[in-house]
Homo-oligomer: A and B are copies of this chain.
Amino acid sequence: MNIKLLSGSVALALTIGVGAVPSGASEKPNVVLMLADNVGYGDIGAYGGGAMRGMPTPVLDQLAAEGLQLTQFLVEPGCTPSRAALMTGRYSVRSGLGTIILGGLPNTLQEEEFTLGEMFKSVGYSTAIVGKWHLGFEEQSWPTRQGFDEYRVGVIETSESTLYRPNMERARIDEATILEAVPHIYESDGQGNLTPVREYTLEYRRQIESDIADAAVNYIARQAAAETPFFLYIGWTHTHYPSLTAPEFTGKSTHRYGDAMMELDHRTGQVLQAIEDAGIEDNTIVLWMSDNGASPDAAPWPDKGGSNGPFRGELGDPTEGSIRTVGMIRWPEKIKPGKTNEMVAIHDILPTLASIVGADLPDDRPYDGVDQSAFLLGQQDMSKREHLLTHVNNKVAALRWRHFRIYPKAYRGSFSNPSQEGLLGVQVEKNGGPDIFNIEMDPREEYSISGDNAWVVAQWLRFVAEYNESLREHPNPPGVTLTDPDFGK
């Protein structure tokens, strides 16, 4: 390998400039972004799952064939962090959202963050979100205070909290406390105020994906007739546990996760059909991606079933199986259908779409995402990204650089007591040397090659230093974790 190659770098973009397309509203594409919940790299047919796993995904396979299928789409290792990265184009720790918001954790998206919704609003789009948000409970964090005109079938948190009521009742907790803890479904009004319209119960869980699809279809039909282009963000929920599906999908596969995957495929088809029915297919960019790897170990038993394909680990780990998942983008006539292994991260979505629709991003903050529009539109062969840092507990836990992975600590299952991994696993200090894996040779990260590849450590130090340098002017806000013994100090 030519050592000169190593001097190439993905610069930390402090400003991202004028977009590639004139801002006349009529030329702007609609954008429909669908984010699946905990779908792993190995779950969809186009990625080697689907029928082979007893859960055919014909709609998603066709979408992959019609669009550009990314086989190296990188994310952050959990729902909140990845969604924060998607909304802000920055590492989630920069907005204090490096931890999954669970059980009353106070982390919440701050008013001053500039989101995907606000970016689209800045260039005249109508915007809406349907389904899961998971970026904090405070009003400043509501999607309707972060650039979205409306919020339908609003899941402001995570779907596993639907398990709280039965578990709290069994624990003999009083109803008032239960009511504070259980999730609700929200709808926005004309002023962007959110109102709970029903409790998000286990029973309603079976119906929610259908309601999300209906609301999305309704929005598309409505907006297709409007003057302004639209941005629709759909947060699917069923492949997160508990995977309770609509009756017509229950039992369709040999496992509950498979049922959820098949329903998700069908619901995606409803949205794509609405785009086609509205006659706006050619002028609509469709993005379909997952927020993080599957979580077979964190999920309770009947919901196990997500697979991260050949990769190691799961949601919560800084490993490949946690942060590499499905990602595809379709834009007829603009993005050439195919399959690419070039590296693209969820952080890149904001700067890339901003470039495509001609929006500017604020120049007062560091961006980790890069503008991939030239790559996606075929103007250059290579992606603009060669590395990504991953954080755990708000600290740098891994570097992906080219086909290498570098870890300062070792990440393990919880030594069988209980036998759980991923978010429930442990990290242990190493005896001095970082682990280095060649992810192309060893997708399961079984053989550290640091003994004869210690030269990679210099890359690790370089990217960590670049990141830490950026923190001097722009320190991260405090990031609370669920295991913080200093909480409330």
A89 to B217, CA, bound (A): 54
CA distance A407 to B53 in the complex (A): 20
Q: How far is the CA of A370 from the CA of B48 in the complex (A)?
A: 27
Q: Does A254 contact B (CB under 8 A)?
A: yes
Knowing A304-B447, A310-B307, the reply to whether A258 touches B441 (Cβ < 8 A) is: yes
Residues of B within 8 A of A253 (CB): 440
Nearest chain B CB to A432 CB, angstrom units: 20
B42 near A403 with CB under 8 A, answer: no
Are A441 and B48 closer than 8 Å at their CB atoms? no
Would A309 and B444 be within 8 Å (CB), given that A54-B403, A254-B403, A438-B254 are in contact?
A: no
**Interface of chain A, main secondary structure:** loop
Chain A, range 28-86, C-beta contacts under 8 Å to B: 42, 47-49, 51-55, 71-72
**B47 contacts A48, CB within 8 Å?**
yes
* A441, B304: Cβ atoms closer than 8 Å: yes
Interface check A442, CB cutoff 8 A: yes
Question: Contact string, A432-445, partner B, CB cutoff 8 A, digits 1/0?
Answer: 00000010111110
Q: How far is the CA of A301 from the CA of B451 in the complex (A)?
A: 11
> In the complex where A254-B403, A304-B442, A441-B258 touch, is A339 in contact with B51 (Cβ < 8 A)?
yes
Question: Is there an interface contact between B442 and A296, defined as CB atoms closer than 8 Å?
Answer: yes
Contact present for B48 and A48 (CB under 8 Å): yes
Least distance between A424 CB and chain B CB atoms (Å): 14
Compute how far the CA of A305 lies from the CA of B48 in the bound complex, rounded to whole angstroms.
19
Please measure, in the bound complex, the distance between the C-alpha atom of A54 and the C-alpha atom of B403, giving whole angstroms. Answer: 8
Closest to A253 in B: B440
Q: Does A9 contact B (CB under 8 A)?
A: no
Q: Which residues does chain B contribute within 8 Å of A305, judged by CB atoms?
A: 441-442
Interface string of A299-326 (1 = CB under 8 A from B): 0010011011110000000000000000
B48 close to A296 (CB less than 8 A): no
Report chain B residues within 8 Å CB of A442.
Answer: 296, 304-305
CA distance A292 to B440 in the complex (A): 20
CB distance from A173 to the nearest CB of B (A): 28
A316, B304: Cα distance in complex, Å: 27
Which chain B residue has the least Cβ–Cβ distance from A55?
B440
A52 to B342, CA, bound (A): 9
The verdict on A446 contacting chain B, using a C-beta distance below 8 Å, is: yes
Given contacts A255-B440, A309-B309, contact A72 B52 (CB under 8 A): yes
Interface centre among A48, A54, A305, by most B CB within 10 Å? A48
Report A310 CB to chain B, min CB distance, Å.
Answer: 5
Give chain B residues whose Cβ lies under 8 Å from the Cβ of A71: 51-52
Chain B residues with CB under 8 Å of A72's CB are 52
Query: Nearest CB to that of A308 among chain B residues?
Result: B310
Bound-state Cα–Cα, A386 to B231, Å: 48
The minimal Cβ–Cβ distance linking A305 to chain B, given in whole angstroms, is 4
Complex CA distance for A254 and B442, rounded to whole angstroms: 11
CB–CB B53/A258 < 8 A = no
A341 lies within 8 A of chain B by Cβ: yes
Q: Are A48 and B254 in contact (CB under 8 A)?
A: no
Interface centre among A49, A52, A447 (most CB of B within 10 A): A52
**In this complex, what residue of B is CB-closest to A447?**
B304
A257 at interface, CB cutoff 8 A: yes
- Which residue of chain B has its CB nearest to the CB of A51? B341
Residue of B at shortest CB range from A56?
A: B341
Instruction: List A424-480 residues whose CB lies under 8 Å from chain B.
Output: 438, 440-444, 446-447, 449
**Min C-beta distance of A428 to chain B, whole Å:** 15
Contacts A42-B310, A438-B254 known; A53 to B443 CB distance under 8 Å? yes
CA distance A133 to B341 in the complex (A): 36
A53 cross-chain contacts in B, Cβ below 8 A: 440-441, 443
Q: How far is the CA of A449 from the CA of B256 in the complex (A)?
A: 14
Q: In the complex the two chains form, is B440's CB within 8 Å of A258's CB?
A: yes
**Shortest CB–CB separation between residue A338 and chain B, in angstroms?**
11
When the two chains form their complex, are residues B296 and A446 in contact, meaning their CB atoms are under 8 A apart? yes
The answer to whether B42 and A441 touch across the interface, beta carbons within 8 angstroms, is: no
User: A309 contacts B440, CB within 8 Å?
Assistant: no
A to B CB contacts below 8 Å, 22 in the list:
A42-B48, A42-B310, A48-B48, A49-B310, A51-B71, A52-B341, A52-B440, A53-B443, A54-B341, A54-B440, A55-B440, A254-B438, A255-B438, A255-B441, A258-B440, A296-B446, A296-B447, A301-B449, A304-B441, A305-B441, A308-B310, A309-B309
Known: A307-B444, A309-B309. 9 other contacts (CB 8 A): A42-B443, A51-B339, A254-B438, A255-B441, A257-B441, A258-B440, A296-B442, A307-B443, A309-B310
